[in-house]
Chain A
Amino acid sequence: MSEEHKSADSNPPTNEPTSSDSNASSSVSASSVSSGKPRRNFLASILATVISAVLMLVPLVSGLLFFLDPILRKKGGDDGGSQNGGARKDDQGFIRLDVTIDALPADGAPQLVTVYDDIVDAWNKFIDQPIGTVWLRRMPNSQVIAFSTICPHLGCSVEHRQAEKDFFCPCHTSAFNLDGDRINMIPPRNMDTLEVKLKEETGQTIWLKYQEFRGAEEEKTPV
């Protein structure tokens, strides 16, 4: 140790102490004892500052990047339940629901149906879990329309009011008619419809592309 110390000590100031004097500023003037070597002091200050910065930046930057993992990491193919997976899902991402078209009321009254899929959550994968609900309506032409129950306003759950024959969100009183069109100006857009297709299996099964959309915007943008 003492050897290193000596070598550091005997390191002569290479340049004449000139302009750096003023830059070294208070540190030099404050330490009267070292004022004989302002140049060396200046270099030491710079070096000490730089090294200290490196010392702190290494853990700080790596930690911060680690913290930014959700936006920095490239997602694997099976990350996120909606992309891939569940036994009920076809290759276009449609999920088979538990109801057939015959099970829906013929008068077109909305029916709340739970959607099941696999959920990938960090290190876990949950098989066939409820991932959300949708409102289904059977239309006269033997078609089915599906509405997301998530209110396009701020994401509360939209309810069906039988007496009023409308959809209604209890949070901020967004209201929609049974076709999903808004009947007050609280929601920014109509209810979000979801893609549905029918397949002839044992009866007409209903397949749904389950998506969630960003709230509080006029545009319908998938999350």
Chain B
Amino acid sequence: MIRALDNWLDNRTGYKALLHEALYERVPGGARWRYVWGSTLVFTFMVQVITGIFLWAAYSPSTQTAWESVYYINNEMYLGNIVRGIHHFAAQAMVVLLAIHLVQVIIDGAYKAPREINFWIGLILMKIVLALSLTGYLLPWDQKGYYATQVTTKIIGATPVVGQQVQEIVQGGPKYGHHTLTRFFAMHAGILPGLLVVFLAIHIWVFRKHGLHVKDPDHAPETTFWPDQVLKDAVACLGVLAVILLLVFFKGAELSAPADPAEAYAAARPEWYFLFMFRFLKFELVEHFGLAFGALYVPGALFTFLVLMPIIALKKQGHAINVLFTLFMIGAIVWLTGLAMYEDKNNPDHQAAIAEAHRDAARIQELANRPEKIPVEGAVTLLREDPFTQGPRIFAKHCASCHFYNGHNGRGRILMESDPNDPSKKIPIQPTAADLGNFGSREWMRAAMIDYEQHFHTWTNASWYKEKSEEKDTEFLSPKPGESEMADWSKTHREMLTNPKNRKHLDGLVEFLAAQTGRKDLQIDEKLVEVGETLLSEYTLAEGELELSCTDCHDTLGGKFELTGDGSEIPDLAEYGSAKWLKAFISDPGTDQFYGSVNEMPAYKDKMTEREMDLLVRWLVKDYHPTEVVDYPVVEQNQNRPELTTQPAEQEPGGETTAANR
């Protein structure tokens, strides 16, 4: 019955002959592992087609939905991260396998006549695969893909004569937008795979015509493609699949923050297999000759050499030259790739940029995962309106020239300046105002009370401080920072407050001050607050008595903050550390409600937009969607903290006390 059907089918289609043709190709010298590479490429391509079509069913190419749909695939859809992961890593495997296949063909001399046509078709296939990688890299519309692809399209634009036009056609306009994605998607999922199938068919067909390129036919008895060679091919493919799956499970396909043309991406790098090109373009000499030289002419010349190889091989020693060229190219690529990786690894700025990219990528996942989901305008707006993301950037832009944040500029970078003693050396810039990393926290409040001068010691680096310290004529001057009334209070009360017997009172005072911030994340202990509040009106500790209570000078402390601009030049501490207070302070710290005439900080009310101010302040008081993202590192304070400059002898007891306190 089955046999009859089989015969009928064969009679009508002739499939058996086709199958026989496909499976029983001669393999002189026996099946060998060295023949597997072409098959692994076909296999990875099939994997790409299968996973690609399924991903297609979930992907949405537009600037407001591309990242969002990939996020949805990755995080919400059933097995989405696995299917995308396979597609992601199989693409990279394909490039690696392609390189192996090409190098083997050259070294074995399989490119020579009569196989030169097939060699050229192979080179076309290589270009198609690289184009597939490139177009696919942009589709998630994340920062990584966006900025890496920008470079590629700029290179296209640098092509002489037609560059500009080609670039616009490729990206669907003068700038990236919806049509960049629809076009890249059409190329990635339609045009390029279609071309690949056509050329692959020709490649295999021509390959069959000339048969395997066998170096030693006497290696083993002749066999056929099925099953011996197929088995070896299958095992090799299984190995490739295993590597891909390991990467999927242990590394996972990355999705960085959504593309934002207004948000520089300092961590931009091409996919790792293009790193050598990237590094090559960075050479000053290459730069000197222009982008078209480094990015088009040199690679073009090298590729032309590849194309000419079968012709070069006609000459005596031609094959040797080809092999040497190939080995040299491998060496150069390995060297350049290694160099690029080494340099990046040892570049603290690049590492900080990568850390920030990871922070943003993790943060957007948290934001997109809220019940509010992603707004129609796109996920990028979530990051733009997120204090946790924007606060550090605004801080770095406006505040970091004086303040540090946990020892860095807010974004994890240590700012450097030339060493005045040795201009060739770079040394970390010293902060000239307080580190705001723990602003408004209990530690902040405690330090401000018991160690005021040390807490604000970074003032000593500021030129205004140095000038004041050097002033001989003290008559008209405001107190020097080290001898302000608050510093004096701190010095005289320090011993009493830090007395272990008064611990509860100090804690109460700290808790009372922390309560003024109104911050939810601090989880205020109301009973302790009461202890602090009582102390302020009753002055009595377990041991000793306050000479002056906080409210004796800061008379609004404990009340509601109101912006008046008036006061006694003693900072108004009503709702100290709250968003409201901080906003008023940053807007204009020099009013009499705050520091008045002794203020040194610029007023920011006209230097920052309302939006920037809001984001900055909310970040500083930690008013944002809670996060578990790995934040910028806390740079060890003593690492960059300047030694407190020992005051000159005539510089009175203030300096000495501080030294003693340390």
Contact = CB atoms under 8 A, between A and B. Distances in A.
Given A62-B83, A66-B78, A33 B238 contact: no
Interface in A30-63: 30-31, 33-34, 41, 44-45, 47-48, 51-52, 54-56, 58-60, 62-63
B230 interface: yes
A125 B72 CA distance: 13
A55 B77 contact: no
Contacts of B510: none
Contact of A30 (B20, B43, B50, B245): B20
A122 B78 contact: no
B82 A62 contact: yes
A31 B58 CA distance: 46
A73 B77 contact: yes
A72 B226 contact: no
A121 to B, nearest CB: 9
B57 A67 contact: yes
Contact of A69 (B20, B50, B80, B86): B80
B68 interface: yes
B447 to A, nearest CB: 44
Given A1-B32, A30-B24, A31-B223, A65 B231 contact: no
B222 interface: yes
B227 A55 contact: no
A41 B229 CA distance: 11
Interface string B46-63: 110011011001100000
Contacts of B30: 9
A210 B76 CA distance: 27
A64 B77 CA distance: 12
Contacts, number: 132
A58 B20 CA distance: 27
A126 B376 contact: yes
Contact of A51 (B76, B235, B371, B376): B235
A10 B375 CA distance: 64
Contacts of A58: 86, 241, 245
Given A62-B86, A124-B373, A126-B376, A67 B54 contact: yes
A135 to B, nearest CB: 30
B34 interface: yes
Interface string A110-135: 00000000001011111000000000
B24 A48 contact: no
A58 B50 CA distance: 10
B635 interface: no
B46 A48 contact: no
B32 A66 contact: no
Nearest to B368: A123
A60 B50 contact: yes
Contacts of B77: 66, 69, 73
A38 B374 CA distance: 62
A6 B9 CA distance: 40
Contacts of B33: 1-2, 4-5
Contact of A48 (B79, B226, B368, B373): B226
B223 A48 contact: no
A8 interface: yes
Contact of A63 (B32, B50, B232, B245): B50
B227 A41 contact: yes
B513 to A, nearest CB: 38
B374 A48 contact: no
Contact of B374 (A2, A27, A124): A124
Contacts of B617: none
A25 to B, nearest CB: 11
A48 B238 CA distance: 11
Given A1-B34, A123-B71, A124-B373, A33 B76 contact: no
Contact of B72 (A2, A56, A122): A122
Contacts of B368: 123
A44 B30 CA distance: 14
Nearest to B43: A55
22 contacts: A5-B32, A8-B232, A9-B220, A27-B227, A30-B20, A33-B224, A48-B227, A51-B235, A55-B234, A60-B50, A62-B79, A63-B83, A69-B78, A69-B79, A73-B78, A78-B371, A122-B69, A122-B76, A123-B69, A123-B379, A124-B68, A124-B373
Interface of A: 1-2, 4-5, 8-9, 27, 30-31, 33-34, 41, 44-45, 47-48, 51-52, 54-56, 58-60, 62-69, 72-73, 78, 120, 122-126
Interface of B: 20, 23-24, 30-34, 43, 46-47, 50-51, 53-54, 57-58, 65, 68-69, 71-72, 76-80, 82-83, 86, 220-224, 226-228, 230-232, 234-235, 237-238, 241, 245, 368, 371-376, 379
